[in-house]
């Protein structure tokens, strides 16, 4: 079986974990937590990092730290992970979805302005799979309508964006708060873990408080607000520090995997292959996603099943927020029109693309896919 994702843990991970054990520092008070926070802040040119338990709760903290609550609307892509909409709904605010761009699969920036109302408080931008959201128009909208930006960068650690004036900025440098996940399929992993980045001292201290039960500043056990225990342990951070040391190498490897698949699949007429670059960025291929062309007479489900039988691990694309049973039951998104997201969910899937993937495994996966496509179409023709 070729797994859909296998992380690469052969750097200083063991040495740093050993240091945690021998020193006795295993809780969130240990020194690796601050080292990981500083390392991530440096990577994205931000003032501070706030390490948390995972990327989903990073979004909860971001929404809460920005003071988003009842009656507020937050605009986000329909084509994303549930954590994004969940954070908004749990805060008592209203998520408003925007459809995906058919080429980059990110929120279609041209559709955002029409979704803004007097109640809109923030834009939750999510950089999906390999290409970032086109940030300059988003920044302009945020300024014009006085909106906050939450930037979910979970899938694009180490990615950059080139501004119209030529300046190259890190993904994660745009949002009032940027959030990250360190799940094992992300470019930097801590097993489970997450991070917020921000510049504003007030936001930073709010996020730090919310992460840690909002302990009192003067009297520890007197609380002005409710927080959570979303702390990251020193053990997790130790793995993250070892991983982050290799981010440049990891990004190179991800792009190399993307090139392998592009070469292998270049002649296939049944697949929409994501562009290697846009005017502002180069694809980082968090995962190597593909979309079945309309003439292919089956959905990605059938292709994934056939690939599984050939020992190739795959995953479907996200299921759009406006089609989630849990949100439909809440009466949300009743008027959402997101045909692109609906198509991506049904026609998209991704191939094995973890950092441990070898050239030969990519070759085998691509051959198996081409083989499945011709067989499935042969049988149904």
By the criterion CB under 6 A, which residues form the site for ligand PLP? 54-56, 80-81, 83, 126, 152, 154-155, 181, 183, 194
Closest-CB residue for ligand PLP?
A: 55
To ligand PLP, the closest distance from the beta carbon of 267 in angstroms equals 31
Comparison of 56 and 300: residue with beta carbon closer to ligand PLP: 56
Which residue from 320, 338, 321 is spatially nearest to 95, judged by alpha carbons?
321
To ligand PLP, the closest distance from the beta carbon of 191 in angstroms equals 10
Cα–Cα separations (whole angstroms), residue 345 to 38, 315, 322, 372: 37, 11, 12, 20
Comparison of 185 and 361: residue with beta carbon closer to ligand PLP: 185
To ligand PLP, the closest distance from the beta carbon of 160 in angstroms equals 18
What's the rounded Cα separation, in Å, for the pair 328 and 325?
5
Comparison of 93 and 373: residue with beta carbon closer to ligand PLP: 93
- Cβ neighbours, 10 Å, residue 42: 12
Comparison of 154 and 306: residue with beta carbon closer to ligand PLP: 154
To ligand PLP, the closest distance from the beta carbon of 54 in angstroms equals 3
To ligand PLP, the closest distance from the beta carbon of 154 in angstroms equals 3
Cα–Cα separations (whole angstroms), residue 8 to 20, 139, 235, 258, 359: 20, 35, 17, 17, 15
Reduce the DSSP state of residue 160 to 3 states and report it: strand
Comparison of 57 and 296: residue with beta carbon closer to ligand PLP: 57
Q: Quick check: 46 and 172 in contact, CB under 8 A?
A: yes
Q: Quick check: 281 and 132 in contact, CB under 8 A?
A: yes
């Amino acid at each position: 079986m070729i797994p859909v994702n296998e992380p690469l843990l052969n750097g200083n991970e063991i040495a740093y974990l050993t240091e945690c054990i021998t020193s006795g520092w295993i809780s969130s008070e240990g020194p690796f937590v601050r080292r990981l926070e500083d390392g991530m802040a440096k990577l994205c040119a931000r003032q501070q990092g706030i390490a948390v338990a995972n990327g989903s709760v990073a979004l909860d903290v971001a929404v809460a730290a920005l003071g988003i609550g009842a009656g507020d609307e937050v605009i986000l892509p329909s084509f994303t992970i549930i954590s994004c909409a969940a954070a908004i709904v749990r805060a008592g605010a209203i998520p408003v979805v925007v459809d995906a761009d058919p080429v980059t699969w990110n929120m279609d920036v041209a559709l955002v302005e029409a979704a803004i109302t007097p109640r809109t408080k923030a834009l939750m931008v999510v950089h999906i799979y390999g290409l970032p959201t086109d940030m300059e128009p988003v920044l302009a909208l945020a300024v014009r309508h006085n909106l906050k930006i939450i930037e979910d960068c979970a899938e694009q650690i180490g990615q950059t964006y080139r501004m119209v004036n030529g300046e190259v900025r890190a993904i994660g440098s745009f949002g009032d708060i940027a959030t990250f996940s360190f799940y094992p399929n992300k470019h930097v992993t801590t097993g489970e873990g997450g991070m917020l980045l921000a510049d504003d001292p007030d936001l930073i201290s709010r996020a730090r408080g919310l992460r840690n039960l909002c302990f009192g500043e003067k009297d520890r056990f007197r609380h002005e607000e409710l927080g959570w225990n979303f702390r990251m342990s020193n053990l997790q951070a130790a793995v993250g520090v070892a991983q982050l040391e290799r981010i440049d190498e990891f990004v190179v490897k991800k792009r190399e995997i993307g090139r392998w698949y592009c070469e292998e699949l270049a002649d296939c007429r049944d697949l929409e292959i994501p562009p290697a670059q846009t005017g502002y960025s180069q694809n980082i291929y968090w995962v190597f996603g593909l979309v079945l062309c309309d003439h292919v007479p089956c959905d990605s489900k059938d292709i994934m099943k056939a690939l599984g039988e050939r020992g190739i691990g795959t995953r479907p694309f996200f299921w759009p927020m406006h089609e989630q049973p849990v949100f439909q039951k809440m009466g949300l998104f009743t008027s959402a029109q997101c045909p692109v997201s609906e198509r991506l969910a049904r026609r998209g899937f991704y191939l094995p693309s973890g950092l441990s993937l070898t050239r030969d495994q990519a070759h085998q996966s691509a051959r198996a896919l081409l083989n499945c496509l011709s067989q499935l179409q042969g049988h149904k023709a």
